[in-house]
């Protein structure tokens, strides 16, 4: 499965690394790609191993606002 999120507040490489790392630590997430210019985060994940809510929470725990 693939899901694209809009993440607000990212402005640098550290921001994108934090978001990417938080998502990829979740079981079931195989890849997260962050585009700082657009704020889009594309996530490839296995349905049933993680949920949209868990992914949103992982990003929000890093201090960013998420539009699912």
pLDDT at 68: 73
Judged against a pLDDT cut of 90, whether residue 61 lies above it is answered with: yes
- Domain limits for position 46: 2-67
pLDDT at 62: 97
- What's the total number of domains in the chain? 1
Q: Which domain CATH number covers 8?
A: 3.30.70.100
- For residues 58 and 68, what is the distance between their CA atoms, to the nearest angstrom? 13
Tens of pLDDT, residues 7-58: 999 999 999 999 999 999 999 999 999 999 999 999 999 999 999 999 999 9
pLDDT at 31: 98
């Amino acid at each position: 499965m693939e899901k694209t999120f809009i993440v607000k507040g990212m402005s640098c490489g550290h921001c994108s690394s934090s978001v990417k790392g938080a998502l990829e630590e979740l079981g079931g997430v195989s890849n997260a790609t962050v585009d700082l210019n657009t704020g889009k985060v594309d996530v490839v994940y296995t349905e049933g191993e993680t949920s949209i809510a868990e992914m949103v929470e992982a990003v929000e725990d890093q201090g960013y606002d998420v539009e699912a």
